Structure formats: structure tokens, C-alpha cells
Amino acid sequence: MRRDETLADYLKQQGISRRGFLKFCAATASMMALPLGATEAIAKALSLAKRPSVIWLSFQECTGCTESLTRSSRPTLESLILDAISLDYHHTLQAASGSAAEEAREYAMQQNKGEYILIVDGSIPVKDDGIYSTIAGITNLQMLKDTAQHAAAIVSVGSCAAFGGIPHANPNPTGAVPVMDIIKDKPIINVPGCPPIPVVITGVLSHYLTYGTIPELDTLKRPLAFFGDTIHDRCYRRPFYDQGKFAKTFDDEGARKGWCLYELGCKGPTTHNACATAKWNGGTSFPIESGHPCLGCSEPDFWDAGGFYQPISTADFDVNKLATTAVVAGAAAGAAFGLYNRHKKSSAEHQHHKTSTDELKE
Amino acid sequence: MSAIELLSWARGPALQFSVAVFIVGILIRVLEIWILGRKKDLSEPKAAGFSAGMRTIFTRSLPPPGMLKYLISGYIFHIGFFVVLFFFVPHILFFKDVLGFAWFGLPNGLIDGITILSLASLLYTLSIRLSDPVRRMLSNFNDYFAWTVTFLPLLTGYLAFHRHITDYTLMLAIHILTVNLLLISFPFTKLTHAVTLFASRWYNGAIAGRKGVKV
Amino acid sequence: MASLSDISVTLEQRPTEQLIAVLNEIDSLLKELIHSDQQGTIDLRSLPLFPGDYDMLKQLLAEGEVSATLQAMGPSTIQETRVPGVWWVTHFNQDDEKIAEYIEITRLPSLLKTTDEDLKDAPEGLRNLIEQVINN
């Protein structure tokens, strides 16, 4: 697809009829959690949309986010969106490598100054001037700063780029930080999740393609369309939570009947994501539906928030150990103070000087 | 700091500190008193002290004349607080972690109603304290502080559970923080009565009983 | 060797609150269509349906008089249910993966109508066909 072509022209060339285009827009509306009535608006906007240049930088990451997005090698809605954008740089996916790849990136940055979208996955190490992760001899820190300078907007894909993720977890040996801690002067959209739901990533890109603006964000810069509700708010097992029907172990009667997983450590109530509605693998299922409690992977520092199997209402440390230690320490301290007080009392009695009438005369 | 980070801190380092202060503080206070002991009473007892003490624990639980309303609301609060704390399922999960065993819970709707009753009775006792000139004169900072740190966990717990009123994560963080405040205040205020009241009543009854006086 | 299918999983087969809520929503949208000619949609992707609810809903609404298949970027099925005015629209991509699913409350889903853009190009296409016939 040529850069000055619109998306509508591109699809027409692919032999897609107007009906097909409208079907595409309806699916996009559903993906963006917009009502079907928005299809017309999307169709109109996409008809005129030009193809934005996208630079994708992968830093300290496991590549799970790229995998999530591209897992399906067959043409899907997601891949169509990816075709519609011009992915000018992605060091995992692109054919070029070495200096040719870096030149391609710099060329794209120049050609589309002020207009390209920068997508980042992976956290950025900053300790020791950021030497713990480099590409082509350039530190991630430097590459981010350089590339962000003339970007229109930045999308931090995955919990690592959005919040620091697993490298940021205790003890954070590389000094990993999220994108928003480094870049302060550009609009940033956080799309967290470990990995994020593919349809959420493309939904955000679709929004930008359609409207040319950043979608409405929450205080952690996550798009409200996908991260506005908690898993708990949309969980199909909610009636069981309300009725007090909980699975106590992974294989008991309650678990087999699909009861609520609160007691097994589900973080659904405090986790904002679209897993309960958009689901995974093209709408097949999501962790809770498969019988595993939610890990809370789209929230900051979920790795350090106590155990995955610790219910939210419990302490996120070994409280039994602390209580036992405190009892022993308290007993010892109490006994020590008590005995000291007795000693003070008896020595005061000892030192008590009985006054005689002679002393009073003086 | 976002709500979820505050929650992690509240149920992490903050709770660690609070539980430690609570347990160590109470043990020090109780052991200090107990180990100090009392001078042996060498006089001949007119009646048995021990049973007189047990009797007093019971009689002090009954309303003195003219105090029925105050006492009923006091009981509603105390029993309500106890039930909400120990029979609400998420709380039971916490105690299971601490103690290693659990027990049955009560339906959420029932706990909800009891919470409202407890909050109402607390407000009622506060209103009596404020409206009666003698009580108001006798009340100081410690009294109002103890009332507040007891009221807040009930209120914030109720708000957290009812998600349509407030954002859940933030309210849960605040709820746990108010609980931490209650735990830390316990050994330093009159709230210690929760642990010492029975021994205290027994002692008063015992010394009076030895002298042949029934209290 | 034990397999996944050996694990006994039972579904509570009774109408849930969610199912009844969806049916009530269809009812109110249908009334709006009748009174003020206002079309309505329910995006099935956005509903937290209990496993079993979806099948129950489909069974309940069943199939009415009209069945249509759209072949554009993969198949789509447009089915009027046994309740007139309530259509079940399912979109698949070229690999039969479901990409969207709606319940539309309308006299006729808009996708069934021939679009203006396609109509504009129709005479040219027809002219080419006529020329083919003449030249043969």
C-alpha cells in the first residue's frame, strides 16, 4: 500500500467490496468497544485515513507482546490493521538487519517527522547509563530518547513498557523503568498486560487510524475503552461471588462447578482489563474461565503484590511468621519490662529511709 | 502513586509494621501489669475472692439504672463489630493466613446489615457523649480518637464492598490503612480494654469480695 | 494415560440472571423499534455470559424465516430469529474465525442492502459482461 493511498483505496484494490469494508468497520467497532452505530463514522474516517508510519522499538522484553499480536500467521482482522499501517521498523519482524535496519529507521523518522507513531515493548534499564540493554551499540535509553523526539505519540505495549514489568520487579538489578518515566513531553498510551490482548493493541491503533487522536485515558494512561472496567465487574462468575460460592482448591467440587476463584487468589477485583469480555485466542476463553485466578497482569508491580494464590484480603507477606515472632518478642519485652519494674519497686522499698522523730526536729 | 500501588503498600510494609506494633504493644502492656503483681493481702478474707471476681465480670455486663439505651447501643456496636470482623469471608481468609485454620462465614447481606447497625450505634453513642454536658466535659482527645479509629474501618469497609459508590482499589487501600491505624493505636489508647477488661473486672470484684462486699 | 476430557466438569444448567437480563434488553429495544422506528444492537462480545448461556440464548431465539450468507472478507451469517425484528448477525474471516457477533433489532440489517458505492460501479461491470456476450 502506497503512503498516499487511503485505507479505503487499499481495501478496494484488495478486491474488498463496500459491504466487506462495512463488515470490517463493524468488527472494528466491536473491537474498539464502540456501539454498532459508530460503524458509519468509522467507515467515513477510515475511507479518508492515510497510512501512518509506525516504528516499533523492542527493549528489555521477552517478545511475548509481539508474539501475542502476530501469533496468527493467517490473515485476521489484526493482521489487516498491521497491513494498513506502515511498519517501518521492527527488529524482530523485519527482513533487514544490522546497519541497513538502523538506516531504515532513521529514514522513516526523517520522512515522517512529527507524524510517526512510536510503539515500544519492553522496559528500559537506566542503571549504569543503561548499558544493560543495547541494540547496534546504542543503549535503549538513548534510542528511546532519539526516536521519541519527533514522534506524534508513543504506545507502550505490554506491562514492561507501561509499568516496568518483570525486569522492574524486586530487586530490579538493571534499574528498569517504564517509558512514561523517561519521556515526559509526548502523549503516551499505556497498553499493559502480560501480554496484552491482541485485539486491544490493534483496537488502540484502529482508534488512532480512525480518529487521529489519542483515546480517552485513565490516571495510569490506559485507554478507558479497554481498561475502564475491572475483570470482576464483567466476570461471568460474579453471581457465585455474590452468593458466596467459592472454590477452595483447584480440584474440588466448587472448582468443577465453575465457582468464584476469590479464595484461590484471584486479583480480578483490582485488575483493569478487557479479558472478561474480549477474552483470548479470538474469544475462546480467559484465565478465570479456564479455572485459574487472575494474576492482575495489567496493573503496576503485579509481580511484587504478594503471591498469585494469596487472596486480596490477606497480607502480602508471611503474616503467620510475623505474628509468631511478634508474640515471642512481645513476651520477652513484656517480661523484661515487668521484671525491671519489680526490681525498681523492691530497690525503692530497700532504699526507703524511715524518718525518725529526731530528723523531724531538725 | 496510583491506587494499586497504595494498596500494595497498605497490605505490605504498612500492615507488617501495624501487626508487629499491635502484638508487641499489647503483650508488653499486659505482662507489665501482670508481672508487677500486688502486695500479698495478709488479712483474713471474709469471703472467697476468686468467685466474687467472676461474679463481677458478669454483673458489670448488666445495665446500671438509667443507662439502658446507652448499654444496648454499646452491645449492638461491640457484637456487631465482632461479627463483621470474624464472620465476613474475606476477613476469615486473612485470619486463616495468620492462625492456620478457618471457620464458617455469614452471608454477605447479613454482614452488610450488621455493619450499618454498628455504624448507627457508634454514631448514637457519640451523640450522647456530645449532648450530655457532663460527658462532654469529661471527654478528651483520647476518647474521640479511639472512637474515630474504630468507626473508620467499619465505614471504609462498607464503602469498599459497595463498588458503585467508590473506586474499589482505592477504597480497599484506604480501608486497610484505617485498619493499620486501629492496630497501631490499640496498645497506646483505652482500646486496650478489649484485652484487659475481664482481668480488670475480676480484680475489682475479687478485692471487694475478700472484704465481703458484693460488687 | 488420562486426558483433559476425563476431568468431569459440570455446568449448572439453569437460566442465569445474565441470560434473563439480555432477553429483557432485547425486549426493550424491540419496543423502541415498534414505537419510534429506532434500530438497536447488542454486541455479544461485550456481554459476560456464563458458558451455557450463549447456547441457551441461541436455542431460545432459534431460526426464523430468513437466512442469508454474506461472502465478503470471509463469510457472515445473517439470520432472522423466530422473533420478528430480532436478527442474529455473525461475522467470520477467511479462516472461519469469528470476528464479531451482534443481535440487531431492526426491520432489515443494513448489510443486506446493496450499498450506493457498489451500485455506482455496477453499470460498468454489467457493460463489460454484455460486451463479453456480444463478442462471443
Least confident of A52-61, A175-184, A294-303: A52-61
Give the other-Cβ count within 10 Å of A284's Cβ.
11
Residue B101 Rama label (left phi>0; alpha psi -120 to 50; beta) = beta
Q: Quick check: A30 and C12 CB within 8 A?
A: no
Count of structural domains, chain C: 1
Contacts of C131 (CB under 8 A, 6+ apart): none
CA A105 to CA A110: how far, in whole Å? Answer: 9
Residue A194 has pLDDT above 80, yes or no: yes
Report field, pTM of the whole predicted structure over 0.90: no
Q: Does A19 touch chain C (CB under 8 A)?
A: yes
What is the CATH classification number for the domain harbouring C96?
3.30.1370.140
CA atoms within 13 A on the CB side of B41: 13
Would you say residue B41 lies in a domain?
no
| String of DSSP letters for B69-124 | HHHHHHHHHHHHHHHHHHHSHHHHHHHHHHHS-------HHHHHHHHHHHHHHHHH
Q: Does C98 touch chain A (CB under 8 A)?
A: yes
Would you say residue B195 lies in a domain?
yes
Contact A258, A232 (CB under 8 A): no
If you average pLDDT over every residue of chain A, what do you get? 85
CA C110 to CA C41: how far, in whole Å? Answer: 12
Contact A119, A153 (CB under 8 A): no
Residue A72 has pLDDT above 70, yes or no: no
What is the fold of A52-226?
Rossmann fold (3.40.50)
Residue A219 Rama label (left phi>0; alpha psi -120 to 50; beta) = alpha
Best probe of the C interface among A36, A243, A273, by most C CBs < 10 A, is A36
Q: Which residues of A touch C104 (CB under 8 A)?
A: 36
Q: Does A76 touch chain C (CB under 8 A)?
A: yes
Would you say residue C35 lies in a domain?
yes
CA A60 to CA A133: how far, in whole Å? Answer: 7
Which residue shows C-alpha cell 432472522? C80
Contact A211, A34 (CB under 8 A): no
Shortest alpha-carbon distance between residue B138 and chain A (Å): 31
CA B40 to CA B49: how far, in whole Å? Answer: 13
Angle (CA) A282-A25-A218 rounded to 5° is 70
* pLDDT for B62: 80
- Of the candidates A19, A33, A36, which has its C-beta nearest C118's C-beta? A19
Q: Does A96 touch chain B (CB under 8 A)?
A: no
Q: Which residues of A touch C91 (CB under 8 A)?
A: 23, 26-27
Q: Quick check: C45 and A74 CB within 8 A?
A: no
Q: Which residues of A touch C49 (CB under 8 A)?
A: 236
Would you say residue B188 lies in a domain?
yes
Would you say residue C4 lies in a domain?
no
Closest residue of C to A78, CA-based?
Answer: C99
Report which residue type is found at A289: E
Closest residue of B to A339, CA-based?
Answer: B35
Model confidence at A140, in pLDDT bands (50, 70, 90)? very high
Instruction: Give the number of A-B residue pairs with CB atoms closer than 8 Å.
Output: 125
Which residue shows C-alpha cell 500479698? B40
Contact A138, A101 (CB under 8 A): no
What is the fold of A229-312?
Cytochrome-c3 Hydrogenase; Chain A, domain 2 (4.10.480)
Model confidence at A312, in pLDDT bands (50, 70, 90)? very high
Q: Quick check: B32 and A341 CB within 8 A?
A: yes
Contact A356, B49 (CB under 8 A): no
Give me the mean pLDDT over the A204-212 stretch: 78
Q: Does C111 touch chain A (CB under 8 A)?
A: yes
How far does Cα A9 stand from its chain's mean position?
A: 35
Sheet with C40-43, side-by-side order of all strands: C40-43, C98-105, C86-92, C75-80, C67-71
What angle separates helix C53-61 from helix C17-36, to the nearest 10 degrees?
40
Spatial CA neighbour of A223 closest among A271, A270, A189, A195: A189
* Torsion over CA: A303, A309, A311, A315 (sign): negative
Residue A34 has pLDDT above 50, yes or no: yes
Would you say residue C125 lies in a domain?
yes
Q: Does A217 touch chain B (CB under 8 A)?
A: no
* pLDDT for B148: 96
What is the CATH classification number for the domain harbouring B169?
1.20.950.20
- Of the candidates B8, B16, B19, which has its C-beta nearest A301's C-beta? B8
Q: Quick check: B23 and A310 CB within 8 A?
A: no
Best probe of the A interface among B88, B97, B161, B184, by most A CBs < 10 A, is B97
Q: Does A37 touch chain C (CB under 8 A)?
A: yes
Phi/psi at A182 (5° precision) = -105, -45
Count of structural domains, chain B: 1
Contacts of B76 (CB under 8 A, 6+ apart): B117, B118, B120, B121
Q: Does A320 touch chain B (CB under 8 A)?
A: yes
ipTM for the whole complex: 0.84
Range of the domain at C46: 13-135
* pLDDT for A19: 82
- Of the candidates C12, C50, C100, which has its C-beta nearest A26's C-beta? C100
- Of the candidates A17, A30, A276, which has its C-beta nearest C118's C-beta? A17
* pLDDT for A190: 96
Best probe of the A interface among C7, C38, C57, C97, by most A CBs < 10 A, is C97
Residue A75 has pLDDT above 50, yes or no: no
Which residue shows C-alpha cell 466474687? B52
pLDDT over 70 percentage in chain A: 87
Would you say residue C62 lies in a domain?
yes
Spatial CA neighbour of B19 closest among A338, A330, A313: A330
Would you say residue C8 lies in a domain?
no
Per-residue burial over B14-44, b = 16 or more CB atoms within 10 Å of its CB, e = otherwise: bbbebbbbbbbbbbbbbbbbebeeeeeeeee
Write down the domain spans for chain A. Answer: 1-49, 52-226, 229-312
Q: Does C79 touch chain A (CB under 8 A)?
A: no
CA B69 to CA B201: how far, in whole Å? Answer: 22
Spatial CA neighbour of A204 closest among A222, A229, A185: A222
Which has the higher per-residue pLDDT, A212 or A117?
Answer: A117
Range of the domain at B202: 3-35+63-210
Closest residue of A to C50, CA-based?
Answer: A236
Least confident of A40-44, A176-180, B193-197, C43-47: A40-44
Which partners does chain B have (≥3 C-beta pairs < 8 Å)?
A
How far does Cα B197 stand from its chain's mean position?
A: 11
Contact A116, A150 (CB under 8 A): yes
Contact A92, A58 (CB under 8 A): yes
Spatial CA neighbour of A309 closest among A278, A357, A267: A267
Q: Quick check: C9 and A256 CB within 8 A?
A: yes
Closest residue of A to B160, CA-based?
Answer: A269
Least confident of A269-278, B4-13, B33-42, C116-125: B33-42
Shortest alpha-carbon distance between residue B144 and chain A (Å): 28
Q: Does A20 touch chain C (CB under 8 A)?
A: yes
Q: Quick check: C48 and A235 CB within 8 A?
A: yes
* pLDDT for A1: 43
* pLDDT for A13: 72
Shortest alpha-carbon distance between residue A335 and chain B (Å): 6
Would you say residue B43 lies in a domain?
no
CA A350 to CA A344: how far, in whole Å? Answer: 10
For each of chain B's 215 residues, which pLDDT tens digit applies? 788 989 999 999 999 999 999 999 999 999 988 888 777 777 887 777 788 888 888 888 887 777 787 778 889 999 999 999 999 999 999 999 899 899 999 998 999 999 999 999 999 999 989 998 999 999 999 999 999 999 999 999 999 998 867 789 999 999 999 999 999 999 999 999 998 888 888 888 888 888 877 77
* pLDDT for C126: 93
Spatial CA neighbour of A24 closest among A3, A4, A49, A5: A49
